[in-house]
Structure 1
């Protein structure tokens, strides 16, 4: 009996996941590929942050740089708050996408791509220019950069990885949550957490103020670049035709249901740009004209008649010799 209950429960769970996510080879492969790319980017970012720590000048010898944020915000010693705010920003957003949103895989892929872009930009900048760390009790990396892991190392300045996650969590709610008063309030709350987390980073002297601001700019830019790319090459029909995420024809980006086929069709057309609509109109007009030309019968107006030349012949036709000109002359001699 217990085996039957377990089997029944397993069947119900499997059925729920099939109906909820509609897993197929393309979408699962793309989602896993983006997750692997993000993991590789985070590993490389940790390596380059260790390189930056090794290269950074000793802040006990070289004084930290002057910073306007340090002058206005008092100093605290609560590094755990930066990690706590990361968890507050990311975990609820992940739970919302995977367990509540109606198009979880599409949202997950967009989020992972945006996060990977932010990591790649940080990989290429964090160790280029070395800054003295603003926090005197930072952890200096001395071993291999490939094996050391630290969240608050020295020299890990440009730009703030914690702020990237603050902003990423707020952007998930901004772009993917339904436009109801409840979700609007949640979105405002998480943007407040992002701002508060940035202030806590500056107060802890974990980063310079410019590190926090640049992280905000980079993450917002990467996010909306991915949104534009997704609209142009996935949402708009006839682009990546084979890439159709589950429930994409039934729910919009915010998870709101398109109740009828007409509404789904309207959603597809409303997400097309003016250039796409113009191109499709031109193609339709060209196809209609071609079909009309082939269906009409030929008339005398469709026959092109070459003009007459001065001698009364068709100018484009070769001249026909007269019978006298073509007959050979014959001379007859009579016998005497």
Structure 2
């Protein structure tokens, strides 16, 4: 007796996203069945028990069309559609808030009091740790290393579209909050060593040039693009150092080798944050508030994203955040936790390897009679 298994791989033939496995009877078995049934019919009357069994068996075969359908459910990765267009919207959101923040810095710069009139506020960290001139350069170098590491890691993630829009959304939110805090409260310079660019007052053309210079230089002091004051509360450098480390840790394996990588990234982030204070470029409250807002926002978002039951619960107080509707839009089709899997960033589309006609995989198995 032999059997032939037919696996239909077409997308449109799968109910609920599964596969069909068809098990058919070999033609060689059917004549013997027919002969057996004929012999039974000739030897015994129709009312005999063996004849009724044969007819019942034959009727069952015709009724079930000689095959059994088995549905194999889709894997969990099929519940994670890429939806790159949503990632593009999140990227625009982050870029818009970044540019808007630089515009706000030029506005706040005009309101910063002169340090000869309003000296720096007292800060406990500054009382015990003298200023180190080169410390802020170390902070910015550490930040660039972390951003580069995160970008490379993100490129090799299988679900990079989902992770990317989460990163861009949170980055845009953090810069939006920063824009608000620096506008409502303008602090004096934290140290007398700071030299602020001259105020332009009503010179709109000069302010636009400063915005473009700040954006082109990435807002870094080592590029010579950041010469304005007033963007103290809260620290943008602390935001990026913390956010990149949290994403690096969240979307990488927990094996021993990767734990060493996590420790290295944590060290880069922690040293960068401490050296901000050692350079006396921000008040201690700027760094504390930046870390708190960045980490809490990251944890809130991922708590909601990784718990489907929590999203649907009427007692979920996290859903009362003002950005919950945006969250539901971005995470609507993400029904499970995003697995930490990697793939090549550039690959040929699977359609190149598929026959445009209906494709099957046929597996033959035979047994000697």
Whether TM exceeds 0.5 here: the answer is yes
Does residue 94 of structure 1 match 2:151? yes
Which residues of 2 match residues 118-267 of structure 1 at below 5 A?
A: 118-135=174-191, 136-140=193-197, 142-143=199-200, 144=204, 145-148=207-210, 149=214, 150-232=225-307, 244=333, 252-255=338-341
Number of residue pairs matched?
231
1 CA distance for matches of 2:133 and 2:184? 28
SS across alignment from 1:30: helix
Q: CA deviation at 1:161?
A: 0.2
Taking structure 1 as reference, are residues 171 and 131 closer, same or farther at Cα in structure 2, changes over 3 Å only? same
What whole-Å deviation, never above 9, does each CA across 1:165-203 have from its counterpart, x for those lacking one? Answer: 000111012211111111112112212211111111111
1 CA distance for matches of 2:331 and 2:169? 19
2 CA distance for matches of 1:161 and 1:241? 25
Which residues of 2 match residues 32-71 of structure 1 at below 5 A?
A: 32-71=88-127
Taking structure 1 as reference, are residues 132 and 42 closer, same or farther at Cα in structure 2, changes over 3 Å only? same
In structure 2, runs of 5+ residues without a counterpart are 1-77, 215-224, 313-327, 344-369
Q: CA deviation at 1:236?
A: 7.7
The 4+ residue runs of structure 1 with deviation greater than 3 A are: 143-147, 232-237, 239-245
Tell me what 2:73 maps to: none
1 CA distance for matches of 2:145 and 2:128? 26
Give the CA RMSD over aligned residues: 3.1
Higher relative contact order (CA 8 A, sep 6+): 2
Q: Which moved more, 1:125-134 or 1:24-33?
A: 24-33
2 CA distance for matches of 1:241 and 1:132? 39
In structure 1, runs of 5+ residues without a counterpart are 1-21, 258-336
> Given that residues 304 and 311 in structure 2 are in contact (C-alpha distance below 8 angstroms), is that contact kept between their aligned partners in structure 1?
no
Tell me what 1:82 maps to: 139
TM-score, normalised by the number of residues in structure 1? 0.61
Tell me what 2:56 maps to: none
Taking structure 1 as reference, are residues 134 and 177 closer, same or farther at Cα in structure 2, changes over 3 Å only? same
What whole-Å deviation, never above 9, does each CA across 1:71-117 have from its counterpart, x for those lacking one? Answer: 22221112432321210121101110112x22111111111111111
Q: CA deviation at 1:142?
A: 2.4
Of Structure 1 and Structure 2, the greater strand share is in 2
